[in-house]
Amino acid sequence: DAGITQSPRHKVTETGTPVTLRCHQTENHRYMYWYRQDPGHGLRLIHYSYGVKDTDKGEVSDGYSVSRSKTEDFLLTLESATSSQTSVYFCAITPTVNTGELFFGEGSRLTVL
């Protein structure tokens, strides 16, 4: 158990509504990541954080924003959800940048109608 909790685990929403996904860690690790996983694309990085209030964009950041006001929480927000954002979202943490090891949460399955 990597000490990562994602919420909600499942959500169905309508186009144009805002959505916030939460990632909570109990490990006090500095680096946190948000990925999306889609068939045929693998995991793609949306945003990541390297400390409180320190975030940066990943490969597919358009339409997403993040916030990290506490070490343990990393929030992903879709300001106005679109059907192309239907996906499974994974949060990940890493205890160190030198091992290649990302610990992933259980995922949040989002459907945008």
Q: Which residues bind other proteins (CB under 8 A)?
A: 4, 31, 33, 39-45, 48, 56, 58, 90, 92, 94, 97-107
Residue 47 to residue 110: CA distance in whole angstroms: 17
Phi/psi class of residue 16: alpha, beta or left (left: φ > 0; alpha: ψ in -120 to 50)? left
Q: How far is the CB of 43 from other proteins (least distance, A)?
A: 4
Q: Which is nearer to other proteins, 31 or 111 (CB)?
A: 31
Count the helices and strands in the chain (H runs, E runs).
0, 11
**What are 30's strand-pairing partners?**
none
Q: How far is the CB of 65 from other proteins (least distance, A)?
A: 17
Paired tokens of 65 = 């924003």
Q: How far is the CB of 49 from other proteins (least distance, A)?
A: 10
Q: Which is nearer to other proteins, 16 or 23 (CB)?
A: 23
Q: Which is nearer to other proteins, 53 or 98 (CB)?
A: 98
Q: Is 74 helix (H, G, I), strand (E, B) or coil?
A: strand
Q: How far is the CB of 104 from other proteins (least distance, A)?
A: 3
